[in-house]
C-alpha cells in the first residue's frame, strides 16, 4: 500500500487485473460528480461513481445550496425581476475577475436557462418568492436572493441588477436538498456507486488515462474506464500544505467550507501527469455580517480606522477584501439607530459616547476613526459616499452613541474555500502544460478553475459544478 499522500500515476502495464470496469469512472459524488454521472448514463454508457465517504453529497450538501442562474428564469420572472443574458454576462465578467475565463462565462450564461430546467427536471423545487433581507440562504423557503452584490457599486453601473441566487425550497439546508435530488437522479438513471472508495492516482496507458487506482476498505482497487475518467473530487481547503504553497491567506480561515475530502488530491493526481492549473491563489471568503441588513448603515474599518469597501456589497466580497487585503483586522462601526445583534450572535464589543472614546477603547490610533467618521458623515448628510459608493439607501450620518462589532479573525468566523484548480475547456477536458486535452481525462467543480478567477457570487460554485459537470460527463461518455 502506498503512502496516503502519493499521487504518482500508475502505468496500465502494472495492473494485472481490474477490480471493476465501466465506460466512465466519476471520482467524487458531489454536485459536479452527480451531474456528470447522470449525464454520462443518459448518453448511454456504463458509469461508475467512486466516493471516499459513506454517501453522496460532498461540499454542496453542507453548503447553502444557492445556484447562480439568470437571463430571465421562471423564478426571476415570477418575482418581477427582469434580467437578460447580456446583463448576466457583463456582471459576471466584472465580478469574477480579474481576468476571468471569458469562454466559460459566455457558455455559462448561454446555458443558464436550460440549466434551470435541467435542475427542475431532476426534481429540485424552487419557490417563486424573493427574500430581500439576505445575500445568503433565507430563514424561510424563498427561492431567490441577491447573492453577488449585483445591486451595489460597481456592478450596478456595469449591468442592470437582478437577483440570480436560486435556492431549493426548504427551510435551510437547501444544499442538502439539492444533493438529495441530484444524487438520486444519477443513481436512479443507473450509475453504479462505489462508496468508501478513495481514489489515489490515475492509471495511464501511453499518455491516455484508462482508469484510476485507490483504496476501498483498506484494499487497493484498480478501476478501469474504457472511455474516460471525470475528476470531480472537490477543492483543497482542507489541505494546509497546499494552502501554504498556493494561497497563504486562506490558512487563517476559521470555518473551512467543504468536507475533509477537499484535500486537493484530485488536482494533484492530474498535475502528476502534467495537467495545468490556474488561479490557485483564489479563494472565496464568507464573512457573515448580515442579516439584518440595517447593519449596512454602519461602516467597515481596518486597523488604521480607515474604510476599505462599500458595505452594501456581497458579504463574500467583504470577506475576501478583509482577509486578503486587510489581514483580517476589520471592525463594523455602527450607531444606535442601526444596531442589532447579527444572525450569528455577533454583538458590539465596544459602545461609547463619542468616536474619540470608541477609537481609544478599540486601540485604534488617536484621531483615526474620528477622522473617518467625520468625513463619512460630511458626505452622508447629503446621502453620498464618494469614497466607496455605498448606495444612498444605506448612507446616513452616524449619530453617537456608537459601537463596534469585532470582525477580526477569531471573534468573527472567516469561512473560505478554494477557487483554483485544473485548467479545463468548457467541455470539461483537462489541459496539459502545452494547452492540449489529456486523452481520457475530464474534470469539473472545484477540482477545476471555473467561471471565477478570483471574484465570486454565491451560487457560482454549485452553478458551474453542476453545469460543467454535465458537459464533462457528456464528453467522457463520448470518449
Write out the residues near a second copy by the rule CB under 8 A.
Answer: 3, 5-9, 97-99, 244-249, 251, 268-269, 271-274, 276, 278-281, 304-307, 325, 365-368, 371-372, 374-375, 378-379, 386-388, 423, 432-436, 453-454
Strands of 75-164, DSSP E? 144-145
Residue 82 to residue 72: CA distance in whole angstroms: 6
Smallest distance, a second copy to C-beta of residue 385, A? 9
Smallest distance, a second copy to C-beta of residue 384, A? 9
Residue 401 to residue 354: CA distance in whole angstroms: 6
Closest CB to a second copy among residues 343, 388: 388
Place of cell 427536471: 121
Residue 277 to residue 54: CA distance in whole angstroms: 29
Smallest distance, a second copy to C-beta of residue 375, A? 5
Output the CA torsion sign for 254, 257, 258, 259: positive
- C-alpha cell at position 289: 455580517
Smallest distance, a second copy to C-beta of residue 278, A? 4
Closest CB to a second copy among residues 353, 374: 374
Closest CB to a second copy among residues 166, 307: 307
- C-alpha cell at position 196: 468508501
Could you tell me which of 353, 357, 346 has the C-alpha nearest to residue 406?
Answer: 346
Smallest distance, a second copy to C-beta of residue 99, A? 4
Closest CB to a second copy among residues 120, 437: 437
Smallest distance, a second copy to C-beta of residue 349, A? 21
Smallest distance, a second copy to C-beta of residue 138, A? 34
Smallest distance, a second copy to C-beta of residue 68, A? 22
Smallest distance, a second copy to C-beta of residue 76, A? 31
CB atoms within 10 A of CB 478: 13
Closest CB to a second copy among residues 83, 359: 359
3-class state of residue 428 by DSSP: coil
Closest CB to a second copy among residues 35, 270: 270
The bridge status of strand 47-50 relative to strand 67-68 is unpaired
Residue 101 to residue 449: CA distance in whole angstroms: 9
Phi/psi for 374 (5° steps) reads -55, -50
Closest CB to a second copy among residues 192, 387: 387
Query: Who's near 443: CB < 8 A, 6+ residues apart?
Result: 230, 231, 232, 266, 270, 421, 422, 424, 428, 430, 472
Closest CB to a second copy among residues 54, 435: 435
Closest CB to a second copy among residues 164, 307: 307
Closest CB to a second copy among residues 269, 474: 269
The bridge status of strand 47-50 relative to strand 277-278 is unpaired
Smallest distance, a second copy to C-beta of residue 395, A? 13
Q: Are 43 and 474 in contact (CB under 8 A)?
A: yes
Q: Are 375 and 299 in contact (CB under 8 A)?
A: no
Smallest distance, a second copy to C-beta of residue 245, A? 4
The bridge status of strand 192-194 relative to strand 197-205 is unpaired
Residue 450 to residue 464: CA distance in whole angstroms: 7
- C-alpha cell at position 365: 490610533
Could you tell me which of 260, 307, 318, 310 has the C-alpha nearest to residue 53?
Answer: 260
Alpha helices in 280-406 (DSSP H): 315-320, 326, 355-362, 368-380
Q: Are 415 and 256 in contact (CB under 8 A)?
A: yes
Residue 340 to residue 148: CA distance in whole angstroms: 23
Closest CB to a second copy among residues 1, 17: 1
Closest CB to a second copy among residues 48, 333: 333
Smallest distance, a second copy to C-beta of residue 7, A? 5
Beta bridge partners of 197: 216
Amino acid at each position: 500500500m502506498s503512502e496516503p499522500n502519493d499521487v504518482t500515476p500508475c502505468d496500465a502495464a502494472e495492473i494485472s487485473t481490474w477490480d471493476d470496469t465501466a465506460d466512465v469512472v466519476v471520482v467524487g459524488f458531489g454536485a459536479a460528480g452527480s451531474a456528470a454521472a447522470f449525464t454520462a448514463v443518459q448518453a448511454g454508457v456504463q458509469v461508475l461513481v467512486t466516493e471516499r465517504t459513506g454517501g453522496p453529497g460532498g461540499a454542496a450538501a453542507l453548503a447553502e445550496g444557492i445556484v447562480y442562474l439568470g437571463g430571465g428564469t421562471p423564478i426571476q420572472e415570477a418575482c418581477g425581476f427582469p434580467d437578460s443574458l447580456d446583463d448576466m454576462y457583463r456582471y459576471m465578467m466584472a465580478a469574477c475577475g480579474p481576468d476571468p475565463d471569458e469562454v466559460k462565462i459566455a457558455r455559462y450564461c448561454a446555458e443558464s436557462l436550460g440549466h434551470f430546467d435541467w435542475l427542475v427536471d431532476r426534481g429540485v423545487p424552487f419557490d417563486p418568492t424573493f427574500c430581500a433581507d439576505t445575500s445568503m440562504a433565507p430563514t424561510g423557503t424563498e427561492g431567490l436572493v441577491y447573492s453577488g452584490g449585483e445591486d451595489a457599486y460597481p456592478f450596478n453601473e456595469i449591468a442592470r441588477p437582478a437577483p440570480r441566487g436560486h435556492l431549493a425550497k426548504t427551510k435551510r439546508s437547501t444544499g442538502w436538498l439539492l444533493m438529495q435530488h441530484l444524487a438520486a437522479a444519477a443513481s436512479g438513471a443507473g450509475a453504479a456507486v462505489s462508496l468508501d472508495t478513495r481514489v489515489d492516482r490515475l492509471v495511464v496507458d501511453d499518455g491516455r488515462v484508462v482508469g484510476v487506482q485507490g483504496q476501498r476498505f483498506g484494499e487497493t482497487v484498480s478501476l478501469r474506464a474504457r472511455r474516460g475518467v471525470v475528476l470531480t473530487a472537490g477543492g483543497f481547503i482542507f489541505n494546509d500544505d497546499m494552502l501554504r504553497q498556493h494561497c497563504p491567506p486562506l490558512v487563517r480561515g476559521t470555518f473551512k467550507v467543504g468536507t475533509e475530502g477537499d484535500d486537493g488530491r484530485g488536482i494533484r493526481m492530474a498535475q502528476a501527469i502534467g495537467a495545468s492549473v490556474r488561479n490557485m491563489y483564489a479563494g472565496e471568503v464568507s464573512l457573515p455580517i448580515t442579516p439584518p441588513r440595517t447593519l449596512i448603515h454602519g461602516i467597515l474599518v481596518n486597523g488604521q480606522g480607515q474604510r476599505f469597501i462599500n458595505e452594501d456589497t456581497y458579504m463574500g466580497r467583504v470577506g475576501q477584501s478583509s482577509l486578503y487585503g486587510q489581514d483580517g483586522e476589520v471592525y463594523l462601526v455602527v450607531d444606535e439607530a442601526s444596531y442589532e445583534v447579527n444572525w450569528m450572535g455577533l454583538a458590539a464589543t465596544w459602545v461609547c459616547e463619542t468616536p474619540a472614546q470608541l477609537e481609544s477603547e478599540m486601540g485604534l490610533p488617536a484621531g483615526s476613526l474620528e477622522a473617518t467618521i467625520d468625513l463619512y458623515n460630511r458626505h452622508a448628510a447629503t446621502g453620498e459616499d464618494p469614497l466607496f459608493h455605498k448606495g444612498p439607501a444605506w448612507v446616513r450620518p452616524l449619530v453617537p452613541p456608537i459601537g463596534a462589532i469585532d470582525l477580526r479573525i477569531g471573534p468573527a468566523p472567516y469561512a473560505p474555500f478554494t477557487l483554483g484548480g485544473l485548467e479545463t475547456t468548457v467541455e470539461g477536458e483537462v489541459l496539459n502544460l502545452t494547452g492540449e486535452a489529456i486523452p481520457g481525462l475530464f474534470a469539473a467543480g472545484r477540482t477545476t478553475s471555473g467561471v471565477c478567477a478570483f471574484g465570486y457570487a454565491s451560487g457560482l460554485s454549485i452553478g458551474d459544478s453542476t453545469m460543467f459537470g454535465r458537459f464533462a460527463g457528456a464528453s467522457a461518455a463520448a470518449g
